């Protein structure tokens, strides 16, 4: 591609905006600082993006938006692609929530975060970048204890990322942290119910953690099924 065909960062931005409305120059620069894209530098020092650089940016942004992949995994995928190897994107760290269909006939309901998933460790900065959530909203979610780091760690896990993505998407429908507080309160009541109901069985269980997980998943399926019934009725 001739040098004249290469674009400045300001020219790249509108090419991405139609598909990624939240993209900004600062985010493009952030992805460069993370080593995910390396545009050519003109003698003047300005970045010059080739068509391949723009395609690379599109891939990164799609992996964040559609698969919720953390930057570390995207970097590994890009390294494979640079070697001519097609990466596998099926194992997205945050799968779409399992549909509650046929909960009564499913012997082992899909366990959130336990099927084909690797442990997730996101810094606060990565959490904001991957989820697309504003820092102001994250601060409010943290203040309400709806998003917290993993126990005994400074890193955020899968549940934190899920909450951030859901919070961002719910804003589209006019639902903010006030509404999420109501959801949190309902979850706290259900968690108490699960704990009280399962406690006698935990004493006899050879794997109390697994037993608690199975009971909580059944409650989640019941909750989802009733929500669908109420909203569709």
Domain locations in the chain as residue ranges: 3-82, 124-232
Residue range 169-206, pLDDT digits in tens = 998 889 988 899 888 888 888 888 888 888 888 778 88
Neighbour-count burial of 121, counting CB atoms closer than 10 A to its CB (0-12 exposed, 13-18 middle, 19+ buried): middle
Check residue 12 and give its pLDDT: 95
Tens digits of residue pLDDT in 11-29: 999 999 999 998 999 889 9
In the predicted structure, residue 110 carries a pLDDT above the cut 60: no
Q: Average pLDDT, stretch 139-143?
A: 92
Higher-confidence residue of 212 and 145: namely 145
User: Please, what sign has the CA dihedral across residues 103, 97, 73, 153?
Assistant: negative
Q: Which class would CATH give 3-82? A: mainly alpha
What is the model's pLDDT at position 137? 92
Question: Residue 4 has which token pair?
Answer: 């004249």
pLDDT value of position 48: 93
Does 79 score more than 90 pLDDT?
Answer: no
The answer to whether residue 115 scores a pLDDT higher than 60 is no
Q: Identify how many contiguous H helices and E strands the chain contains and give both numbers.
A: 9, 2
Strand pairing class (40-41; 47-48): antiparallel
pLDDT of residue 118: 56
Highest mean pLDDT among 108-112, 143-147, 209-213: 143-147
Q: Residue 217 and residue 100: Cα distance in Å, rounded?
A: 10
State how far the Cα of 123 lies from the Cα of 149, in Å rounded to an integer: 9
């Amino acid at each position: 591609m001739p040098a004249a065909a290469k674009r400045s960062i300001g020219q790249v931005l509108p090419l991405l905006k139609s598909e990624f409305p939240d993209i900004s120059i600062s985010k493009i620069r952030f992805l460069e600082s993370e080593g995910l894209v390396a545009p050519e530098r003109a003698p003047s020092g300005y970045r010059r993006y080739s068509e391949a650089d723009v395609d690379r940016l599109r891939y990164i942004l799609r992996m964040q938006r559609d698969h919720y992949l953390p930057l570390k995994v995207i970097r590994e995928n890009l390294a494979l692609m640079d070697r001519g190897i097609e990466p596998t994107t099926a194992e997205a760290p945050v799968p779409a929530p399992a549909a509650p269909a046929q909960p009564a006939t499913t012997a082992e309901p899909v366990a959130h975060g336990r099927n084909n998933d690797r442990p997730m460790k996101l810094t606060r900065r990565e959490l904001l970048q991957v989820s697309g959530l504003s820092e102001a909203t994250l601060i409010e979610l943290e203040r309400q204890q709806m998003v917290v780091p993993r126990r005994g760690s400074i890193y955020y896990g899968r549940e934190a990322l899920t909450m951030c993505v859901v919070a961002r998407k719910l804003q589209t429908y006019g639902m903010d942290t006030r509404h999420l507080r109501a959801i949190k309160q309902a979850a706290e009541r259900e968690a108490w119910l699960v704990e009280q109901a399962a406690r006698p069985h935990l004493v006899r269980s050879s794997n109390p953690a697994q037993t608690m997980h199975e009971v909580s998943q059944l409650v989640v399926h019941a909750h989802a099924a009733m929500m669908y019934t109420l909203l569709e009725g």
